[in-house]
A and B are shown apart, each in its own frame.
Chain A
């Protein structure tokens, strides 16, 4: 929009921002009250958050989710209770609404029992990628309706927590394959599961090896370096990136330690306190996911991953052959493969991150 526009006409090419004149206000006007208005609106609407936990069975995924949200979100499966491990990967989602200090959060947890449990785990990531794409598809279909809803329900996966088994060596081929594919469509936070089986030194060495592995294979986990907007973000996120993957322990039983009631795992040689930074890094994970970066996770999912999916979907029809009178009226395929399919070479493709490279200016 050009200033001093003479005649109103739909402009075909828009400048990114009009020329603005900075102005000094001579007194208090009350503009900052808009922040309160925002808060009121947000509290009224409530928040949504969708998290997916991926990892082999027995790594403590369900327990971790229960510990994160301090409630019985998922039924943690105990070994030896006669429940057979599923033969194929199934995705189970549960949704709960939790409230704290007037803030309502609609939380959806998607569990992936059966991941990596079979003898041949080839393409075991396809159902997961399909599920993620399905959620994007649902949102896209809602968005391109003519009469659309006031608030489109958001079921897109905002964060995927990947549980790495505590072998102490390095990432396994299954992990690498999966992470490569997944980090292009969703925010991935890898964690070292059951970290109570590693000593502190082993933990640090394992962490370094994993970080090197991630770098070698070009896997960008959350928080992604290319989305740091200003120097504060960089500093904060660098600190987090140094500690990724977090070594976590999950527990949903309470024990008495020194007169306090804490969540922990009781063993013969001591009680591992979950919230104690000296014992494990669970507080870091919880702070990252909930207290400081939840909105950021949602933003990146919406502005980057969803947009990439949308570009891919809307461009699909260009690729298909066109003959005279041929019209593609086929519905979207049931499980759309990830944009960078298994044939694509690994490494962060330039096109996917372009959207955030012109990083945020004032709107």
Chain B
């Protein structure tokens, strides 16, 4: 009997089993738990890693029996991107929020050195988001949309020889962060005998390179046998297709070739049914559990240790996370205070400088104003002087004119006739 409760029993001394004398009724407990989960809904996130055109979207469509997306992606992306899409599926009373994350442009570049880093970053980003939520003071974990990747389907191209270097590198960098299930894509391109050799070669390469892929759990009696046998069939050789072809007297999902029909759900043709069985029907909960209790905890531990927090303080006394966090926070506040002071002083200095500059400008302006005023005054005086002179000249001239007119009128006191003749003569000499 391997139950958590029994293990706890062995640790505590004062717990013992008690026999009941009648029916109490808590056998409905698992049902209460299931009802609550139905109410909340389930959430499952799949990451598909594989080269462009290897059949990732088609396989997902076939797995969940829907048509999710139609367009094919291009081969000419300069970098690997991750595209995530969330769907809501419902089967009887179970609601599933399914998120499919696809790697776009994986393996297309000429230089593939940067290919797997975006994937690792994406997975870490999801863990980080969950960790942030968990560390918040006011958190709401029970209605948090869990975006952590629960399973990574790694698509191996059906060369029939061995794994590519890119495959090995990518899987090695992902194996401690996510549950990896390798699948051989487009398995209808390999013959049965080649397939067997290929599978053995792949598994031995994974083992020799120390890549930890997901092993189906064999500790529960009800599913141990089937899981153990499935473990021997890894990696699954799958064929995906949503097209229906008539075989016998019913329509099945298949791929039609001139030389025959490859049926997707026929166990003799490919391992698709096994994959669906393992991924969805038998182990979905275990995949989620592993992600949460192993991969996420590992990430969390590494992250917190990076931040300098430990469980054991100096002198090996157990130091609580909160206390070290407190200490760090005070440190941070002290640092921030100091920086604030610095900035304040800098600011005050700058203000002073600017003030001085402005004062200088003001003074200059004032001086210019005075100068101009003086110039203006002088100009004004000069003009007044000129005007006075002019007026004097005018007076002098009018005086002269008056005197000359008097002199003119005097000789005109003679008899009149001559006056007019003389006047005319004078006048004509003027004109």
Kindly state whether residue A29 has any CB partner on chain B within 8 Å.
yes
* Neighbour of B87 across the interface among A22, A141, A292, A310, CB < 8 A: A22
Q: How far is the CA of A53 from the CA of B283 in the complex (A)?
A: 41
Q: How far is the CB of B330 from chain A (nearest CB, A)?
A: 5
Kindly state whether residue B19 has any CB partner on chain A within 8 Å.
yes
Q: Mark the stretch among B138-146, B157-165, B390-398, B399-407 that contacts chain A.
A: B138-146
Q: Which residues of B contact A33 (CB under 8 A)?
A: 280-282, 284
Given A70-B21, A291-B25, verify A31-B91 contact (CB < 8 Å): yes
Q: How far is the CB of B6 from chain A (nearest CB, A)?
A: 8
Q: Is the CB of B289 within 8 A of A35?
A: no
Q: Is the CB of B285 within 8 A of A97?
A: no
Kindly state whether residue A319 has any CB partner on chain B within 8 Å.
no
**CB under 8 Å from chain B, chain A span 1-60:** 1-11, 14, 16-35, 37-48
Q: Is the CB of B125 within 8 A of A71?
A: no
* Neighbour of A37 across the interface among B87, B137, B138, B282, CB < 8 A: B282
Q: How far is the CB of A316 from chain B (nearest CB, A)?
A: 10
Q: Is the CB of A362 within 8 A of B5?
A: no
Q: Which residues of B contact A363 (CB under 8 A)?
A: 40-43, 97, 142-146
Given A38-B37, A97-B5, A358-B143, verify A1-B96 contact (CB < 8 Å): no
Chain B residue with minimal CB distance to A5?
Answer: B84
Q: Which residues of A contact B144 (CB under 8 A)?
A: 363
Q: How far is the CA of A329 from the CA of B315 in the complex (A)?
A: 14
Given A32-B91, A32-B94, A360-B39, verify A103-B222 contact (CB < 8 Å): no
Q: How far is the CA of A123 from the CA of B88 in the complex (A)?
A: 53
| Residue interface mask A295-327, B partner, CB < 8 A = 1 | 110010001000100110011010000101111
Kindly state whether residue A64 has any CB partner on chain B within 8 Å.
no
Q: Which residues of B contact A24 (CB under 8 A)?
A: 66
Given A25-B91, A147-B301, verify A42-B140 contact (CB < 8 Å): no
| Residue interface mask B14-25, A partner, CB < 8 A = 1 | 111111111111
Kindly state whether residue A201 has any CB partner on chain B within 8 Å.
no
Q: How far is the CB of B270 from chain A (nearest CB, A)?
A: 17
**CB under 8 Å from chain A, chain B span 1-55:** 2-6, 8-9, 12, 14-30, 32-43
Q: How far is the CA of A148 from the CA of B131 in the complex (A)?
A: 14
Chain A residue with minimal CB distance to B93?
Answer: A32
* Neighbour of B97 across the interface among A11, A70, A362, CB < 8 A: A362
Kindly state whether residue B195 has any CB partner on chain A within 8 Å.
no
Kindly state whether residue A72 has any CB partner on chain B within 8 Å.
yes
Q: How far is the CA of A146 from the CA of B372 in the complex (A)?
A: 79
Q: Is the CB of A146 within 8 A of B24?
A: no
Q: How far is the CB of A66 from chain B (nearest CB, A)?
A: 10
Q: How far is the CA of A148 from the CA of B309 in the complex (A)?
A: 14
Q: How far is the CB of B107 from chain A (nearest CB, A)?
A: 17
Q: How far is the CA of A100 from the CA of B43 in the complex (A)?
A: 31
Chain A residue with minimal CB distance to B63?
Answer: A29
Kindly state whether residue B316 has any CB partner on chain A within 8 Å.
no
Q: How far is the CA of A354 from the CA of B35 in the complex (A)?
A: 24
Kindly state whether residue B85 has any CB partner on chain A within 8 Å.
yes
Q: Is the CB of A39 within 8 A of B30?
A: yes
Kindly state whether residue B334 has any CB partner on chain A within 8 Å.
yes
Kindly state whether residue A78 has any CB partner on chain B within 8 Å.
no
Q: Which residues of B contact A40 (CB under 8 A)?
A: 220, 222-223
Which residues of B come within 8 Å of A, CB atoms? 2-6, 8-9, 12, 14-30, 32-43, 63-66, 68, 81-97, 99, 118-119, 121-122, 124-126, 128-129, 133, 137-147, 220, 222-223, 276-277, 280-286, 289, 293, 297, 300-301, 304-305, 309-311, 320-323, 326-327, 329-330, 333-334
Please name 4 further chain A to chain B contacts, defined as beta carbons within 8 Å, in addition to the given A328-B326, A363-B42, sorted by A numbering. Answer: A10-B128, A28-B91, A98-B20, A362-B95
Q: List 20 A-B contacts (CB under 8 A).
A: A1-B99, A1-B147, A5-B83, A7-B81, A8-B119, A9-B125, A18-B145, A23-B89, A28-B91, A32-B94, A35-B34, A37-B286, A38-B33, A97-B16, A104-B3, A141-B320, A292-B32, A307-B139, A327-B326, A362-B41
Which residues of A come within 8 Å of B, CB atoms? 1-11, 14, 16-35, 37-48, 68-73, 94-106, 141, 144-148, 150-151, 153, 229, 263, 286-287, 290-296, 299, 303, 307, 310-311, 314-315, 317, 322, 324-329, 331, 354-355, 358-363
